[in-house]
A = this chain, B = another copy of it.
Amino acid sequence: MARWQPDARGRLEAAAFELFRERGFEQTTVTDIATRAGLDKRTFYRLFGDKREALFGGSEQLEDLLVKAVTETDAAPFEAVVAAFRQVAEEIFADRLELVRVRQTIIESSPELQERELRKMGSLAAAVVAALCAKGLDQTAATLAAESGVTVFRVAYTRWVEPGNRDSLTDLIAEVTSELQAITSPARR
């Protein structure tokens, strides 16, 4: 068995990111990643399960922060979820636009990575639903608040990474929230 390696996870993630950018996701093997990180293949599989997972290292941190923010606020459910995403935008994404853009290009290059990203967003939404239910909200209301919040975040995020965009992710989340409210509000006839 491989010896315990300080920050093996971080080194493998960094190596995977570099290689996916240099050679492309399909052209990179797990052996390539492990070699670049100075580790072995078994260590990679023990920590990540599969090649795709190396690109989603931050998702647990994101989920924990979201759940904590949703749990601790007294705001109404949808407002709570949106505020939690704004906090995530400030604390995790704000200073990383260039990195996020490269990562997005990698994801868009592979249907497999797109599937994994959708699954991550699904599991994020499920964690938020659970947090809202724990506060006494029923399943339907919790799901609608969480999914609507995720939709707002995804749309804002897409606009944020677009070439030429100069708005902050936090501002875009606020703007897209208003647009969602306008577009779903019952038509006045």
The 7 lowest CB-CB distance pairs between A and B, nearest first, are A118-B118, A147-B151, A115-B115, A144-B180, A144-B183, A115-B119, A78-B184
In residues 138-186 of chain A, which contact B (Cβ within 8 Å)?
Answer: 140-141, 143-145, 147-148, 151-152, 154-155, 158-159, 176, 179-181, 183-186
> Which B residues are in CB contact (< 8 Å) with A77?
183
CB distance from A56 to the nearest CB of B (A): 13
Chosen A-B contacts, 27 in total, with CB atoms closer than 8 Å, are: A76-B183, A77-B183, A79-B187, A111-B119, A114-B122, A115-B115, A115-B119, A118-B118, A118-B122, A140-B159, A140-B176, A140-B179, A141-B183, A143-B151, A144-B151, A144-B152, A144-B180, A144-B183, A144-B184, A145-B184, A147-B151, A147-B154, A148-B183, A148-B184, A181-B184, A184-B184, A185-B185
Closest CB of chain B to A136's CB: distance in Å? Answer: 14
**Cβ of A36: which chain B residues have Cβ within 8 Å of it?**
none
Give bound CA distance, A152 to B141, whole Å: 11
